[in-house]
Amino acid sequence: MRVWVSGRQVRLDPAHALGKGGEADIFDLGNGRALKLFKGADHPDYAGSPDEQRGALMRLALHQTKLREFPRLPAAVVAPEELVTGRGGSPILGYTMRLVAAAEPFARYAEPAFRRQGVAAAAVAELLLSLHRIVEEVHGAGVVIGDFNDQNVLVTGAGGGPAASGCVHLIDSDSFQFGPYPCQVFTERFVDPLLCDPALPHLLLCRPYTGDSDWYAYAALLMQSLLCVGPYGGVYRPQDPSRLVPHGARPLRRITVFHPEVRYPKPALPREILPDDLLHELSARFEQDRRGVFPRSLVEALRFTRCDACGLEHARPLCPACRPVPEGAVKETIVVRGAVTATRIFRTRGVILAAASAADGLAWLYHEDGAFRRESGAVVMQGALDPQLHVRLAGRTTLLGKGGEVVTLRDGAVASRRSVDCCDGAPALDCDGTRAVWADAGQLWRDGRLGRDLVGTVLQGQTRVFCGARFGFGLTRAGKLTLAFVFDAARPGINDRVKLPPMPGRLVRAACAFGGDLAWLFLSLEAGGKVLNRCVVIDATGATVAAAEAEAGDGSWLGAVGGHAAAGRMLLCPTDAGVVRVEPQGRVGTRRLCRRGPVAGGAEPCEGSAVATLQVTREFPDTEPFVHAGCRLVAGADGLYVIDAQEIHLLKLQ
C-alpha cells in the first residue's frame, strides 16, 4: 500500500508493521518514527461486521478536521506530527509520530508472572506517580484522555531491579477529547459506569467523557498494577441465585472485588498489602461513586518493604501475610484430600521462572540468592531477575532470550549464542522439552542431529512460533495480514493453509499447548472495548477441530490464557476452583460471535465452520487447595505437576 506524508510517497510494507489496535495499524518508518494508519471500512478485521464498518467511516470523517486542529500536549504524550494522506493531500488516512521503542504496555504490570521477574512494587508506585502528573498536565491543556486504559500507557527503560521504574508515555492520542471532538471509544475495564447506560446488561458509553472519568480510569490502573486484580475482578457467587448478574454488568451494580460474595482471585496479591487509607479510597471510588482528582498523597505515601520471612512486598508496618508459627512446625510435604494426593517436590525462597516436561519427569529453572538455578540446584548463570528475559528449557539445556539474542547454557557454561527475530518484544523461540525451534531473519529453524535444519520462510519480526513433540504452529500478524501455519517436527516445509476464525482488534497474548496430534491455541484479543479469550484446537494437518471463547476473567477454564496442559484430546485447566478437564464435544455449524450466554464450562462456540465445541467433561474440586488460575500445569507420566511462583506439587488424581 502507498500513502503520502507531506507530499512524499511512502510504501507500507507488512514486514515493517509494529502492531495492530482496534482502529489502526502501526508501521515503522525508521529513524525513530512510526506511522499510524487508520483502518478503513474495507479492512479485513471488519469483514462481516456492518457496525464496525460504519464506525470506521465515522472515525475517518472526524479525523479530516480533528487532526488538523490537534492541540499542543505534554512531551510524555505521543502526539500526531505529520499527516498521512492519499495522493494530492486528501483524504487524511493517519499520521506520523515518534516511535516509543522497547516499551511495555502498562497492562504487563498487572501480570503476577511479570511482576515476579524483578519488578519491585516501589518501581510500580513511581510509575503511578509519573502517570498522575501526566494526567494533570493533559487536563491543564484542556484535553480529556477519554479511552484511558492499560494498553495506551507505555513504559520504557524499566529493566530489572528495584530502582528501574522507567518512563511513562501516553499513546493513541488521536482519540483524546477536546473542543468539539468527543472521544467515542471505550474499554470496558476502565470506562466510568456513571457514563454508561444503567438499563443495559453490559457497559455501553452513552455520555461524554470528563476529567473525573479519567481519574476513575487512573484509579482502576492503580489498583490492578498494585494488586494484580482490577476493581471488578474475581467471580461473583451470591448465595441467593436471583441476585446473580452477568460478569459484564457488575460495574453497573458496583459489585466490586471488595464485595463479600465475590471470590477474590488467587493469583492476585493480597489487598491487605496496601494501607487502609488507600484501600478506603479505592472502595469509595468503585462502590460509592466518589470522583475528582485521585489524591496524589496516597501514592506518594506508599513505602514498600519485602518481608524477610515470606518474601511478600507490602506497604504496612507489619507483613499482613505472616502469622506466628509454632516452634518446630513444618508444612506437610504430602497431603491427601479426597481423591487427590499432593506431594510437594520443590520449594524456593526465590521464584520459579519456567518448567517443562523432561525424560525423567520435570525440568525447571528458578532464581534464588542472585543466581539462576536448574532443578538440581546447579547454577546456570549469576545475575538479577529481569522482566525482559524469556526462558525456555530443552532437557538439560537452558535457553535465555532477550531482545534479538538467545544464549544456550549447558552444564553451567555458554554452549552457543544465536540471533533471533522478535515479535512484540519476545523472541520467536520455543522448545518441545527436547529441542528448540526459532525464527532468524525470516527463516524458521529447528535443532537437528547435525546442527540446525531449515523449516521454511516466515515474515521477519511478525511471527510467533510454538513447538510440540510431533508438530509446531506459527502465527503471523502484520497490518491487514493474518496467517497461520503448521510444520512437522522432523520434515521441512510449512503448511500455511490453516484457517483461523477472524481475529479483530489487538492481540494481547498468545499461547499454545500441544498434546499428541493436537495443538490448543489460546488467544487473548481486545476489541470493541473488551478482552475476549479464545481457544482454537488445530490438528497436525492444519484443520480446525474445535473452538470456544469466553470473556477474560470470568472465572471459567478460558478466563485466563496460559497454564493449561494438553494430553491428546483432553485439556487440563487450572482455575481458582481446582483443575477441570475440557474436551471437544459434538460438532456445530457456523456460529457468530454475538451470543454471550455461556455453554457448559463457561465458554461458547467460536465462529467457524463445522467445528466441535469445547466443554468441561470433569471437575476435580479436591485439587482446589493446590491450584489457581495463575499457575501452570504440566502433564507427566507419574501425575500432574502444578507450578506456582515458589512451589511445585505433583498431583495424583483418582
In a domain, 267, yes or no: yes
In a domain, 468, yes or no: no
Coil, strand or helix at 98: strand
Residue 462 pLDDT greater than 60, yes or no: yes
CA 34 – CA 536 distance, rounded (Å):
33
**pLDDT at residue 587, as a whole number:** 63
In a domain, 211, yes or no: yes
**pLDDT at residue 530, as a whole number:** 87
**pLDDT at residue 323, as a whole number:** 63
Residues 194 and 224 in one domain: yes
Residues 284 and 161 in one domain: yes
Split at pLDDT 50, 70, 90, the class of 479 is confident
Cell numbers at 348, concatenated: 524456593
Contact 134, 74 (CB under 8 A): yes
End-to-end CA distance of the chain: 58
- Work out the angle between the directed axes of helices 121-140 and 211-227 (0-180°, nearest 10): 170
pLDDT digits (tens, 9 = 90+) for 200-232: 999 999 999 999 999 999 999 999 999 999 999
Nearest to 8 by CA among 131, 96, 130, 138: 96
Residue 166 pLDDT greater than 90, yes or no: no
Residue 589 pLDDT greater than 70, yes or no: no
Contact 596, 559 (CB under 8 A): no
Nearest to 575 by CA among 603, 539, 598: 603
Nearest to 549 by CA among 489, 484, 602, 619: 602
Nearest to 386 by CA among 404, 372, 369: 372
Q: Residue 70 belongs to a domain with what CATH number?
A: 3.30.200
Cell 475476549: give the residue.
532
Domain boundary among 314, 331, 347: 314
**pLDDT at residue 605, as a whole number:** 53
Residues 308 and 175 in one domain: yes
**pLDDT at residue 449, as a whole number:** 84
Mean pLDDT (whole number) for 371-379? 95
**pLDDT at residue 332, as a whole number:** 64
Split at pLDDT 50, 70, 90, the class of 600 is very low
- Percentage of residues of the chain with pLDDT beyond 70: 94
How many domains are contained in the chain? 2
- Mean pLDDT (the chain) is 91
Cell 504496612: give the residue.
316
**pLDDT at residue 327, as a whole number:** 45
Split at pLDDT 50, 70, 90, the class of 159 is low
Split at pLDDT 50, 70, 90, the class of 329 is very low
Cα–Cα distances in Å, from 154 out to 126, 166, 424? 14, 10, 13
In a domain, 637, yes or no: no
**pLDDT at residue 359, as a whole number:** 85
Mean pLDDT (whole number) for 177-198? 96
In a domain, 514, yes or no: no
In a domain, 653, yes or no: no
Split at pLDDT 50, 70, 90, the class of 425 is confident
Residues 68 and 125 in one domain: no
**pLDDT at residue 324, as a whole number:** 52
Split at pLDDT 50, 70, 90, the class of 386 is very high
- Residue 79 Rama label (left phi>0; alpha psi -120 to 50; beta): beta
Residues 276 and 127 in one domain: yes
Cell numbers at 159, concatenated: 529493566
Domain boundary among 268, 296, 314: 314
**pLDDT at residue 586, as a whole number:** 80
Q: Which residues contact 147 (CB under 8 A, 6 or more apart)?
A: 172, 175, 183, 185, 186, 187, 190, 191
Phi–psi pair at 156, nearest 5 degrees: -120, 155
Q: Which residues contact 541 (CB under 8 A, 6 or more apart)?
A: 486, 495
Split at pLDDT 50, 70, 90, the class of 599 is very low
CA 124 – CA 204 distance, rounded (Å):
31
**pLDDT at residue 165, as a whole number:** 61
Residue 597 pLDDT greater than 60, yes or no: no
Mean pLDDT (whole number) for 122-130? 97
Residues 35 and 124 in one domain: no
Burial 522-549 (b: 16+ CB within 10 A, else e): bbbbbbbbbbbbbbbbbebebebbbbbb
pTM for this entry: 0.90
Nearest to 350 by CA among 324, 369, 373, 328: 369
Domain boundary among 263, 297, 314: 314
Range of the domain at 56: 2-98
Coil, strand or helix at 419: strand
Residues 309 and 160 in one domain: yes
Residue 250 pLDDT greater than 50, yes or no: yes
**pLDDT at residue 285, as a whole number:** 98
